Amino acid sequence: MAKDKSVKKRLLLKIGSNTLTKETNAISREKLADIARQIAILKKEYDFIIVSSGAVAAAKEFVQLQDGDANIVVKQALASIGQPYLMRLFQEAFSEENLLTSQCLLSYADFENKDTQLNISNTISVLLDNGYIPIINENDTVSTEEIKFGDNDKLAALTAALLDVDLCVIATNTYGIYTKASMKTGIPKTILEVTDLNVLLNEVSDDKSSHGTGGMTSKIQAAEILQANGIELWIVNGLVDNFLIASLSNKDCRTSIKPSKFL
């Protein structure tokens, strides 16, 4: 089901665990409310698709399982416990702004089957046409890709490409990607705009975030997928209030990775 580009633009917002928790040990209701307020303001211009991490972080608020958090199976169990709780928090925050939400659990295998891809695209299009905001997470209970590798960055890129969005925004805990030299001085300098991903690869480390499983390398890997599909990626600081509105108004520093057509 092709989208009508004469109406609203499609914006995919990927929210990392550090953004959702505001770098604490619990999902931040304040941050969810901030995101909901921004979407309520912007919804006349944009249809939103959200890819959200945070199911494991949500479960850790109130449960501990035996065998240790490093165990993949334990993390899958935590995700199973935390996912409905995370969705309830989304629903509560978004309903305060009269926003309707829906849950979509996907796995990477879904993107390898043409019929499944079409079903995903059609379902999400119906949801958007009827005013619902799809909130997507990987089905961690049966899949290990996000837990092991990418904090949903790759999932966000694959979903954005499938849905032919106009813009993909990854909200993280930095103002985009910083130059390596500036990090050594202690005064981070954002790389504002780039087309050559090799430039970015030379600037980033493989450090993982405290709650999520991804780092900047996984975001560059996501950018590869988006570039190949002609979609621009912004990496923004989701910890600050009104981060999305500020970025769309060019008031906050961010890294913009241009799609292949700009090369």
pLDDT in tens, 194-208: 888 888 888 775 554
CA dist., res. 23 & res. 45, Å (int): 30
Mean pLDDT of the region 30-50:
97
Apex CA 220: angle with CA 159 and CA 175, to 5°? 100
**257 part of a folded domain:** yes
**125 part of a folded domain:** yes
pLDDT, position 208: 46
Q: Is the predicted pLDDT of residue 4 greater than 90, yes or no?
A: no
**248 part of a folded domain:** yes
Q: Domain containing 26 — which CATH number?
A: 3.40.1160.10
**4 part of a folded domain:** no
How far lies 103's CA from each of 51, 67, 68, 106, 133, in Å?
10, 29, 28, 10, 9
Mean pLDDT of the region 240-254:
92
Encoded tokens for 114? 């043409």
pLDDT, position 213: 36
Match 């509560």 to its residue by tokens.
92
Which residues fall within 8 angstroms of residue 82, CB to CB, at 6 or more apart?
54, 55, 56, 57, 58, 59, 60
- CA–chain centroid gap for 85, Å, is 18
Name the percent of the chain in helix, strand, coil, to the closest 5: 45, 20, 35
Mean pLDDT of the region 156-169:
96
What pLDDT band is residue 57 in, cutting at 50, 70 and 90? confident
**191 part of a folded domain:** yes
**164 part of a folded domain:** yes
In degrees and rounded to multiples of 5, residue 174 shows phi and psi of -140, 165
Q: Is the predicted pLDDT of residue 3 greater than 60, yes or no?
A: no
Q: Which range marks the domain in which residue 50 is found?
A: 9-262
Q: Is the predicted pLDDT of residue 263 greater than 50, yes or no?
A: no
**180 part of a folded domain:** yes
Spatial strand order of the sheet with 193-194 comes to: 100-106, 132-138, 46-52, 9-15, 167-172, 232-237, 255-257, 193-194
Mean pLDDT of the region 3-21:
85
Q: Is the predicted pLDDT of residue 210 greater than 70, yes or no?
A: no
**186 part of a folded domain:** yes
pLDDT, position 214: 40
Mean pLDDT of the region 65-87:
80
What pLDDT band is residue 70 in, cutting at 50, 70 and 90? low
Comparison of pLDDT for 144 and 64, the residue scoring more: 64
Domain count, the chain: 1
Q: Dihedral of CA 153/159/161/163: which sign? A: negative
How far lies 102's CA from each of 39, 52, 57, 162, 225, in Å?
15, 12, 20, 18, 25
What pLDDT band is residue 2 in, cutting at 50, 70 and 90? low
CA dist., res. 185 & res. 244, Å (int): 28
What pLDDT band is residue 108 in, cutting at 50, 70 and 90? confident
Q: Dihedral of CA 139/167/13/122: which sign? A: negative
